[in-house]
Amino acid sequence: MLNSHAHIDFASVQPYDTSSVCIVPSVGKQNWKEVSKFSHYSYGIHPWYLDDHNVNDLDLLERYIKSNSPIAIGECGLDYKNSGNQQKQQTFFELQLELAQKYRLPVIIHAVRSTEEVILTLKRFPNITGEIHGFSGSYSQAKTLISMGFLLGFGMQLISSSSTKLRSLLMSLPIESILIETDDHYNPNDIHLVAKTISELRCLPVEKITEQCDNNAISLFNIK
């Protein structure tokens, strides 16, 4: 089973089943070297960690991209709930999108209370595809992003029966547009709970869900 987004380099997160595949996103220069140890990883600057970075770090990011083999740029994006300085967030987001465009890599996007702003920004980069991880936008926004070539990630929040809005949204989306993930959840092997929940909501065999979501990630991130 392919976990499309798990921070297994974090000390608080348990190891992932070695027989499975995991995409490990970075959050900034402090863990670019660490994530490079995994088979599938990405380089980016997360909006939560912008205070630890300046624009010169984008040059360092580019050197890492050129010297290694990331499968994506990210985790990057906009967070209007937990982070300050929206203009700085926008600047760093756009500069990372430019790198993704230059090196023809998909992006892994963090969007919290900012989905519309993310969409407006992405429209200026029409050749870019990627994942909106931990998707929390509306059905209309989901349709727009899918039409732009983006896939939507769903994680542990989905397994809660109280997540009625999120569950209703997932039931209305084509499974070809879905990725499954655990993010910073302490046990990334709980990814099977996400697949099981989607299986129950969509009334499809869990094997079908797992196969489709795996293939979605393989295709998007060009995983060999």
Percent with pLDDT over 90 in the chain: 96
The mean per-residue pLDDT over the stretch 74-100 comes to 93
φ, ψ of residue 204 to 5 degrees: the values are -125, 150
Tens of pLDDT, residues 37-58: 999 999 999 999 999 999 999 9
Confidence of residue 94 (pLDDT cuts 50, 70, 90): very high
Residue 21 near residue 40, CB atoms below 8 Å:
yes
**Residue 6, CA atoms < 13 Å, CB-side half-sphere:** 32
**pLDDT tens-place string over residues 129-140:** 999 999 999 999
CB contact at 8 A, 74 and 25: yes
Q: What residue has token string 């983006």? A: 150
CB atoms within 10 A of CB 34: 13
pLDDT averaged over the chain?
Answer: 96
pLDDT in tens, 13-39: 999 987 789 999 999 999 999 999 999
Whole-structure pTM value: 0.96
Per-residue pLDDT, 17: 87
139-180 per-position pLDDT tens digit = 999 999 999 999 999 999 999 999 999 999 999 999 999 999
CATH number at residue 132: 3.20.20.140
For residue range 181-192, list pLDDT tens digits in order: 999 999 999 999
- Show Cβ contacts of residue 55 under 8 Å, excluding neighbours closer than 6 positions: 91, 95
| Residue for token pair 């890599």 | 105
Q: Count Cβ atoms within 10 A of the Cβ of residue 62 and give its class: 0-12 exposed, 13-18 middle, 19 or more buried.
A: middle
Residue 17's Cα: distance from chain center in Å? Answer: 20
Res 82 pLDDT > 90: no
pLDDT at 142: 98
Give me the pLDDT at residue 70, please: 98
Domain count of the chain? Answer: 1
Beta strands in 30-169 (DSSP E): 41-43, 72-79, 107-112, 130-133, 150-154
**For 75, which DSSP code?**
E
Residues spanned by the domain of 16? 2-221
